Structure 1
Amino acid sequence: MSADADYADAPRIPPIPPRPPHRPAAPPADEDPRTTVLRPVPADPTVPPPAAPATSSATPPAARQPLPAETAPAPTPPATPLAPAAPPRPSAPPTTPPPPRTEPPAAPPRPGRAPRSFRDTAAFHLANSAPLWDESSDRPASPPPPASPPPPAGPTPPPAPAWPAPPARPAADEPAPRRPLADRLPGTRVVAAAAGLVLGVGLIVGAAAGSWLTEAPAKGAPTPESIFTKGQDAWRNTPVDTLFPRTVEGLAAGPGGADRTWTRIAVAPDTDCTARYEGPLAKELAPAGCARLLRATYVDATRTHVITVGAQTTKADRSGMMDLNARFSTNDLADHKALMPLPLAAKGTPAEDFGPAQRASWTVRILTDVPVVVYTVSGFADGREITDPQPADAAVQPGTATTAAESGLGHDAKGLADKISATFRTASGVPARSTEVAS
């Protein structure tokens, strides 16, 4: 059985009518009404109160039929009577601002009872609210900033030094005053600096002139006389590894422009120039004198060719060396087989069997810029005999079919003579003429 059946016989309770809206209590009749934004406006006794509007005929309250409680409307407040039209608002405020007020005026006394309908109209409020529009202009000016605090008590600081006033400029028509002569003369420091500059320039010019007059500048090229004089003692003042390098590189010094490398395998002690070491060549070199003779033997990279090189330092001067070179060139003494130099056969080396019968090519160089005669002689390291030796200048010519030319012994003799001549020139103060480097 459903729950509705249990309460079917219960008495029906009518619904509760809704609560009427809250109606504020009317203010007492003797109190002065106030608005939410405006101050109380006193009644003007000179203005008559407006006439009360005529009430329209309506059904008296007694004639109205009461409504049931369920449908009765909420009570409504009485309608406010209409007010007359407000006066027109001025289009612009007056151009002359009102004078500032030193203090606000005292509030007027509260008026007595006046008709509420006259004081509670919108037109009255608009007509008497003009002072509120100018309230911002009537506000007092902002107070001045506080004065700076007085300085602390204590000793008074000394006054700041006054800067000197700039000199007065003369007028345009007045000439400028002329400074004294002592002020216009240069100071002692300027004179001393100028004197020092002149002295320094004079010293530099004097040093340059002295070097130019003596023809011996410190970093310039040496003179031929100094080179020749230094070359006389090169054999004594230069290490043997500089005059006869351990390894000599001959770029394009071999047949067909091939590079050659020669390694030193023996060095003889310095000796006198005698036929025992030079053979018949010593007699032809005797007119130039002999200071010292140095000799060494080299082997090529294949260890099949051996070359002996000799360097004889003469006692002749420059003219004596020129005469010796002219005599060898005129008589072709450097190409005579009878004047071939003797080899240096060192035991225990590849040149051990290098004797007079194994000589294949040779050359003799008379140096005129230094007092040195350089010669070389080449042969095979295996000790074979050569029956047709040939000078190096002839063996290096293209198309030559001799043993010295085809084996390259002529190139060995010529190339090593060029390199040793360059080392003696370098030791005497002359740079090497060849671009090849001896090491």
Structure 2
Amino acid sequence: MSFGEPEGYDDDARPRPLGRRGRSRAVAAGVCLVLGMGLIGGAVTGSWLAGDSDEARAHTGFAAAGSMWHSVPVDRLFPPTVQGRGAGPGGADRTWTRVAVAPDSGCKGAFDPLLDKVLAPVGCRRLLRATYTDATQSHVTTVGLLFTKADATRMASLARRFDREHLDRRSDLMPRTHAAKDTVADGFGARQRASWTISVLTDAPVVVYAVSGWADGRTVDTPQPAEEAVRSGTGTAPGQAGLGHDAKGLADRVERALRKNAGSASEQPS
């Protein structure tokens, strides 16, 4: 006597070994498992290839900012008129009007030798500058955008050095002005510098700076960094005149415009 496989019945009531259904179910389960793993792996790979991470977006924005010196119109980087709501002493509103734009250039001779040495580690790709005056034409301010050759690591290193050594407050590291002939800024030279600010960005390969002074050409014996000149109760001439507010206010707004333009550029399809 021999024993065969136990039988069941199919849909037509015909005998069928029960073991076959078990094997069929095992094969089907294996196929489902393989398909499921493939779908999961594909989703993860697709997310990675799409560059959906914050790191990828930050890298894209950094790269986009570095090319804006030739891809963004000057009126978007240095608007003809800049509104500074609450940017003046005591929270007063300020309005600055652009009086000159310097031709884009390299950095040779653009900075005093010591500042040039401090900025050397990030290199110079291009320098853009514009000069503004306030509504009363009593003050003039040059704003600059130094587009560097550095990557994010080197920009972060320079920013840390500026912060650690307070380089943005040293009067021997003041940026130079852009004096334009036949404008209110005609006499705006090295000895007329009264207040300044320098900001090393870490989310873009750019150094933003501004330097302000009086439009009447008066010389300044003791310039004051903007961070100190904007403090309430300061008794210095640049502070009381609001020249620190001019430098800081314009630099802040140009920096905001830069970031806005960089964001727009990085969102455009390639």
Counting only pairs closer than 5 Å after superposition, residues 83-232 of structure 1 correspond to structure 2 as 212-216=47-51, 223-232=57-66
**Aligned equivalents of 1:430, 1:207: Cα separation in 2:** 30
**Aligned with 2:95 (options 232, 257, 261):** 261
Deviation at 1:332, TM superposition (A): 1.2
TM-score normalized by the length of structure 2: 0.78
Deviation at 1:357, TM superposition (A): 1.1
Counterpart in the other structure of 1:363? 197
Task: Describe the SS at the equivalent of 2:220.
Answer: coil
**Aligned equivalents of 1:206, 1:430: Cα separation in 2:** 32
Distance of aligned partners of 1:213 and 1:277 in 2 relative to their CA distance in 1, 3 Å threshold: closer
Whichever residue aligns with residue 288 of structure 1, its letter is V
Deviation at 1:350, TM superposition (A): 0.2
Counterpart in the other structure of 2:186? 352
Counting only pairs closer than 5 Å after superposition, residues 6-45 of structure 1 correspond to structure 2 as none
**Residues 222 and 429 in structure 1, CA contact (< 8 A), matched pair in contact too:** no
Distance of aligned partners of 1:254 and 1:207 in 2 relative to their CA distance in 1, 3 Å threshold: farther
**Aligned equivalents of 2:121, 2:82: Cα separation in 1:** 32
Whichever residue aligns with residue 336 of structure 1, its letter is R
Counterpart in the other structure of 2:230? 396
Deviation at 1:430, TM superposition (A): 6.8
**Aligned with 2:253 (options 419, 425, 428):** 419
Consecutive aligned runs of 4 or more in structure 1 exceeding 6 Å deviation:
205-210
Deviation at 1:343, TM superposition (A): 0.7
Aligned: 1:299 with 2:133: yes
Aligned: 1:409 with 2:239: no
Aligned: 1:377 with 2:217: no
Task: Describe the SS at the equivalent of 1:347.
Answer: coil
Deviation at 1:239, TM superposition (A): 0.5
Give the aligned CA root-mean-square deviation in angstroms. 2.1
Task: Describe the SS at the equivalent of 1:428.
Answer: helix
Whichever residue aligns with residue 51 of structure 2, its letter is A
Counterpart in the other structure of 1:97? none
Identity %: 52
Deviation at 1:423, TM superposition (A): 1.4
When you count helix as a share of all residues, which structure comes out higher? 2
Counterpart in the other structure of 1:238? 72
**Aligned equivalents of 1:292, 1:234: Cα separation in 2:** 10
**Deviation readout 1:270-299 (Å, 9 max, x if unpaired):** 11112x221132221011111001111000
**Deviation readout 1:113-144 (Å, 9 max, x if unpaired):** xxxxxxxxxxxxxxxxxxxxxxxxxxxxxxxx
Whichever residue aligns with residue 337 of structure 1, its letter is S
**Aligned equivalents of 1:352, 1:361: Cα separation in 2:** 18
Whichever residue aligns with residue 277 of structure 1, its letter is A
Task: Describe the SS at the equivalent of 2:103.
Answer: strand
Distance of aligned partners of 1:221 and 1:263 in 2 relative to their CA distance in 1, 3 Å threshold: farther
**Aligned with 1:272 (options 92, 101, 106):** 106
Task: Describe the SS at the equivalent of 1:429.
Answer: helix
**Aligned equivalents of 1:261, 1:221: Cα separation in 2:** 37
Task: Describe the SS at the equivalent of 2:263.
Answer: coil
Aligned: 1:322 with 2:156: yes
Residue correspondences, number: 224
**Higher relative contact order (CA closer than 8 Å, sequence separation 6+):** 2
Whichever residue aligns with residue 157 of structure 2, its letter is D
**Deviation readout 1:307-357 (Å, 9 max, x if unpaired):** 001110011100000001011111111111111111111001000011111
Task: Describe the SS at the equivalent of 1:297.
Answer: strand
**Residues 317 and 371 in structure 1, CA contact (< 8 A), matched pair in contact too:** yes
Counterpart in the other structure of 1:337? 171
Deviation at 1:386, TM superposition (A): 1.2
Gaps of 5+ in 2: 1-39, 266-270
Task: Describe the SS at the equivalent of 2:182.
Answer: coil
Deviation at 1:212, TM superposition (A): 2.8
Counterpart in the other structure of 1:290? 124
When you count strand as a share of all residues, which structure comes out higher? 2
**Aligned equivalents of 2:84, 2:229: Cα separation in 1:** 17
Deviation at 1:255, TM superposition (A): 0.3
Distance of aligned partners of 1:409 and 1:228 in 2 relative to their CA distance in 1, 3 Å threshold: same
**Deviation readout 1:117-173 (Å, 9 max, x if unpaired):** xxxxxxxxxxxxxxxxxxxxxxxxxxxxxxxxxxxxxxxxxxxxxxxxxxxxxxxxx
**Deviation readout 1:398-439 (Å, 9 max, x if unpaired):** 1111011100000000000101111111121179xxxxxxxx
TM-score normalized by the length of structure 1: 0.49
